[in-house]
Amino acid sequence: MTKEGRNYFVKCPKCEEKFDRSIVENEKIQNRYYHKECAELKRQDEQDKEELINFIEQEIGVNCNRKILNQIAKYRRGGYRYKGMKYTIEYYMLLGFDVDEIEGVGFIPFHYDAAKQHYLTKKDVEKASKNTTPTRQREITISPPHKKDRYKRKNDIDIENL
Ligand SMILES: [Zn+2]
């Protein structure tokens, strides 16, 4: 390593890895050098955080006080995602609970996994219904045997055209 090269060594604030900014693609934000993809993640994360706060304030009507902001920051440091926290709040309310400014969002760690499971299942169901094939739709519309003859007479042309 040359003396000159060493001067380009920086630590990415996002992933905390050191890299040579003269070689590795990077982005400078507020005087710090980020890996290009870490800068992208940072932006996404900030956007998700803003959405979470907007959701709490505007959609639930709860003021994001210091307590709530601290809880969110603590959970984020603990590995929870902002998007996941938003789902968890939605899920919590779906269960019939209310969110208030006194208790804040302290329930998040207790419901996070269940909320995640709930939304993954919901997504699967939506995906499955979108992927229904024509074959399967035909199977579903087959009438029980005792009704079949009547159905056939009434719908002669339609059936032949299928
Ligand atoms: Zn990085």
Condensed to tens digits (0 to 9), the pLDDT of residues 71-127 reads 999 999 999 999 999 999 999 999 999 999 999 999 999 999 999 999 999 888 888
Going by pLDDT thresholds of 50, 70 and 90, the confidence category of residue 7 is confident
CA of 27 to the centre of ligand 1 (A): 10
Q: For residue 20, is it within any domain?
A: yes
Statement to judge: residues 81 and 140 lie in one domain? no
Alpha carbon distance 17, 35 (integer Å)? 9
Domain, as residue range, for 97 = 62-131
Query: Are residues 81 and 114 in contact, defined by beta-carbon separation less than 8 angstroms?
Result: no
Hey, what are 54's tokens? 């907007």
Where is pLDDT greater, at 150 or 64? 64
18-20 vs 9-11, strand pairing mode: antiparallel
Statement to judge: residues 162 and 124 lie in one domain? no
Q: For residue 51, is it within any domain?
A: no
Q: Is the pLDDT confidence value at 51 over 90?
A: yes
Q: For residue 52, is it within any domain?
A: no
Q: Which is nearest to 87 in space by CA: 69, 106, 111?
A: 111
Q: Which is nearest to 85 in space by CA: 122, 142, 130, 45?
A: 45
Q: For residue 35, is it within any domain?
A: yes
Q: For residue 23, is it within any domain?
A: yes
Alpha carbon distance 78, 5 (integer Å)? 35
CA of 91 to the centre of ligand 1 (A): 32
Asked whether the CA dihedral 144, 148, 151, 152 is positive or negative, the reply is: positive
pTM value?
0.68
Q: For residue 80, is it within any domain?
A: yes
The number of domains in the chain is 3
Statement to judge: residues 67 and 92 lie in one domain? yes
CA of 8 to the centre of ligand 1 (A): 15
CA of 39 to the centre of ligand 1 (A): 8
